[in-house]
Chain A
Amino acid sequence: MPKAPRFVGPGAVDIAFEVNGDGVSVHVPPQRTLLDTLRETLGLTGAKRVCDEGTCGACTVLLDGAPVYSCMTLAVACAGQSVETVEGLATEHGLHPVQAAFIEHDAFQCGFCTPGQIMSCVALLRANGSPTGDDVMRAVSGNLCRCGAYPNIVAAALSAAKKTQR
């Protein structure tokens, strides 16, 4: 896959990158965010637009494995990279352990922040297989939950970590 060119634009350009394991190619203006590209161009509406200014984390996706705010990431900056969204977590064998734990521990109410919370927890568990409660709180400290499901989110992430270890 081609690496990102140094300068693109000013008009719309073609960009190729990977989303949930599949290669995609999109035609986007340089100011279009990764979030809007995922949602509007690719129909992946799991990541949510809540603050659109990098403060709430509802748009969190993984870029080459690291959690990023996709509302603060330009699509053109993702050329040649790999993006993972909440839609890519479950497989034919079932839910990702973090997703299953979120249901088991009722780690949400309205669910609007949930895709972002889950992606932050998935990134944490890949980096640290046996996190403490503090580690989880730090991992989701950039994810705002307006309904107040934090204690259950921490419980869910810890339980998913335990199940993954087994």
Chain B
Amino acid sequence: MSIKVVRTKSEFEGTISEETALVDGRDVAAWGADAGLTIVGKRQTRVDGIARVTGRARYTQDVYLPGMLHARVLRSPYPRARVRRVDASRAQALAGVRGVLHRSNAPKAAFRGEESIFRDEVRFAGDEVAAVAADTEETAAAAIRLIDVEYEILPFVADLEEAMRDQAPRLDEKGNVTESGKLDRGDVTRAFADASVVVEATYRTSTQLHNSLETHGAVASWDGDELTVWESTQHVFGVREGLKTALRIPYSDIRVLCDYMGGGFGSKGGAGKYTIIAAVFARRLGTPVRCVLTRDEENLAAGNRSATYQTVRIAARGKKIHAIEHLSWSNAGQGRWVADPTGPTNGLYDIPNLRTRSYKVVTSLGALASFRAPGYVEGTFALDQAIDELAERMGEDPLALRRRHIARASDPVTGLRYSLKRLAACYDVGEREIGWHHRKPDGLRGSAPHRRRGYGMASQLWGGSGLPPAYATVHLNPDGTAVLRCGTQDIGTGTRTVLAQLVAEELGLEVGDVRVELGDTNSQYAPISAGSLTVASVGPAVRLAAKDARLQLLDAASGLLEVGATELRVERGAVIGKGHRTPIGEVLGQVKDFTVIGKGSRF
């Protein structure tokens, strides 16, 4: 095996970073149209369907361990306040309460750049102030109401546009507003002066809450110095990283598991404070602890999609869009990053003159969290509404106008050539399927005078190329069944099924003969299940592992069957060569306990 060093620029959820990765020098070619696939690309019901319809699928919230305690969190009712005093004596005295954590007695635990999980100055309504572990959830819930907290209430600002004003309470040393993205192309000032039509518009989008059905939560259990955490997450290795940083324990002592998970929509990318609380309590009290957010807490403190305030100036010259200026402000709450709503404006259409700016606005709200194409949904709304308004002023068909601005050859931001660009084909299909030719610019009047029916369209842009590295192993058992191990997650998108298909196709098995084990940091590293990058990241590693297993199997079979390896192939669970079809189990069964272990990775 040859290991190569790869340096790439990668973009994840709006942040471009330089990355260095060590990768397996082997590669696997993409399957072409002539690959003769029999499993991949064919209809396949979910391999975990039975587990999911029988109630047997075990989600984090279904993990109940012997002796497990229940933790609940006391959260600040104020958007900004200094915590002067926490008196937990009444809570501690309640029968069934086993422990209380707050800023005076909690161990130092680094979390997202801060030293403790409990702040001296709380920054949003819902910020963690204390936590209780008790025998039952009811007792824990009663106990947090008995914690006496003295707050010094401080000035706050939660609204985006209020926070942008000069007289707003200053929440950050650098000011509430900081520039988070910019792009300049061509000469916008001159382009607007030369324009034949100019439209100016302001767009606002509101805060959105993810509300995954399974709330954020974790169960922590220690065995000596070894910590096991079950967490509802899109990234078990991200949770492991958070635990390592907070608890200062080595990777080898941490195991994070997520078998089934009830939705994340971007918000479950790493450890939460509830994870640390469960782990700290479990260690201190010597018994497993479960800390699962209630629905109220989920809405207060588990992330949101930022509200935005956006202005767009768009100009036409002749039949074409000549220039766009798009400025966007996002309410990041207490988030350390912010998504970029100008992304679609920068890269979706081919526009000669462009000026975009995006700004992060700090407010007294909970931190934003990634939420299904963060920033891009908000930005597309503003951009494509503005294009519609421009088309109307120009007397143009909105679809025809967009067709003139497809970036055909290369990405307008990076300049990289597209390997494939199908936007024009998407427009054709959309036009046909929704019956665009029926559209009337003024809409169709309905039965009630205030009601109209209309046709609308928009385009969307998102990059989902993969996030290196990813690793996988495929064990081929002597009976011809296989086990794939990969530390990715199935968040409901069908990852288990897709990976089983890949292994079956590449290794020559039936899908039913492949068992897929995911969501375990004791397995092989895989990136976050987010940003439409899972199959692109993990798929090639899984294929390589299956291919490696197939080649080893053929090697072994060649010796056992006394046929040259190049004359053999594997198909539907059997080794085929020289007119003979021998089931894998029969070939490998000749050698007791022989197991093929295939390995794969991808950059």
> A: which residues have CB within 8 A of B?
29, 31-32, 36, 39-40, 43-53, 56, 58, 85-87, 89-90, 95, 99-100, 102-104, 106, 108-115, 118, 144, 146-147
Task: Decide if B295 touches A115 in the complex (CB within 8 Å).
Answer: no
Contacts of B53 in A (CB 8 A): 86, 95, 99-100, 102-103, 108, 111, 114-115, 118
Chain B residues with CB below 8 A from A89, complex form: 54
A113 B295 Cβ-Cβ under 8 A: no
Complex Cα spacing A129 to B152, Å:
63
- Assuming the contacts A110-B261, A110-B491, asked whether A46 and B295 have C-beta atoms less than 8 A apart, the reply is no
CB contact between B52 and one of A31, A108, A146 (< 8 Å): that residue: A108
Q: Are A46 and B55 in contact (CB under 8 A)?
A: yes
Q: Is the CB of B49 within 8 A of A48?
A: no
Identify the interface centre among B58, B214, B493: most chain A CB within 10 Å of its CB: B214
In the complex, how many angstroms separate the beta carbon of B132 from the nearest chain A beta carbon?
Answer: 18
Our pick among B55, B213, B294 for the contact of A86 (Cβ within 8 Å) is: B55
16 contacts between A and B (CB under 8 A): A29-B138, A48-B214, A50-B215, A52-B294, A52-B295, A53-B295, A90-B54, A100-B53, A102-B53, A103-B50, A106-B46, A110-B214, A111-B262, A146-B263, A147-B263, A147-B492
- Is the Cβ of A109 less than 8 Å from the Cβ of B492? yes
Contacts from B to A (Cβ < 8 Å)? 45-46, 49-50, 52-59, 61-62, 64, 137-138, 211-215, 260-263, 265, 294-295, 491-494
- Nearest residue in B to A108 (C-beta to C-beta)? B52
Question: Which residues of the other chain, A, contact B50 by a CB distance below 8 angstroms?
Answer: 95, 99, 103
**Contact, CB under 8 Å: B213 / A103:** no
Contact (Cβ within 8 A) B45 A46: no
Does B262 lie within 8 Å of A45, measured CB to CB?
no
- A95-B54, A114-B52 are known; give 18 further A-B pairs, CB within 8 A: A43-B64, A44-B55, A45-B55, A46-B54, A48-B213, A50-B213, A58-B213, A87-B55, A89-B54, A95-B53, A104-B45, A106-B46, A108-B492, A109-B263, A113-B213, A115-B53, A144-B213, A146-B263
**Most chain A CB neighbours (cut-off 10 Å) among B49, B57, B212:** B49
In the complex, how many angstroms separate the beta carbon of A42 from the nearest chain B beta carbon? 11
Of listed B52, B59, B138, B213, residue having the most chain A CB within 10 A: B213
The residue on A at minimum CB distance from B53 is: A99
Task: Flag if B45 contacts A45 (CB, 8 Å).
Answer: no
- List the A side residues contacting B214 at CB < 8 Å: 48, 50, 110, 112
Instruction: Kindly state the separation between the CA atoms of A53 and B260 in the bound complex, as whole angstroms.
Output: 24
Min C-beta distance of A35 to chain B, whole Å:
12
A131–B542 alpha-carbon span in the complex (Å)? 44
In the complex, A89→B260 CA distance in Å?
21
Q: Please name all residues of chain B whose beta carbon is closer than 8 Å to the beta carbon of A46 when the two chains form the complex.
A: 54-56
Contacts of A113 in B (CB 8 A): 213
* A103 and B49 contacting across the interface, CB-CB below 8 Å: yes
CB distance from B498 to the nearest CB of A (A): 13
- By the criterion CB–CB under 8 Å, are A110 and B262 in contact? yes
Contacting residues, chain A, for B46 (C-beta < 8 A): 103, 106
Q: Which residues of A contact B260 (CB under 8 A)?
A: 110-111
Contact A115 B211 (CB under 8 A): no
How far, in angstroms, from A144 to B211 measured CA to CA in the complex?
11
In the complex, residue of chain A having the shortest beta-carbon distance to the beta carbon of B210:
A146
Residues of A within 8 A of B49 (CB): 102-103
By a CB distance below 8 angstroms, the chain A residues around B62 are: 39, 45
Given A111-B492, A112-B213, A146-B212, A87 and B52 touching (CB < 8 A)? no
Cβ of B211: which chain A residues have Cβ within 8 Å of it? Answer: 146
Q: Which of A31, A48, A90, A103 contacts B262 (CB 8 A)?
A: A48
Residues of B within 8 A of A51 (CB): 295
Measured CB to CB, the closest approach of chain B to A27, in angstroms, equals: 13
A48→B55 CA distance, assembly (Å): 9
Contact A87 B212 (CB under 8 A): no
With A and B bound together, what is the CA distance between A114 and B52 in angstroms? 7
Is B58 within 8 A of A112, CB to CB? no
Q: How far is the CB of B152 from chain A (nearest CB, A)?
A: 33
Determine the distance from Cα of A43 to Cα of B265 in the docked complex, in whole angstroms: 28
Least CB separation from B295: chain A residue = A51
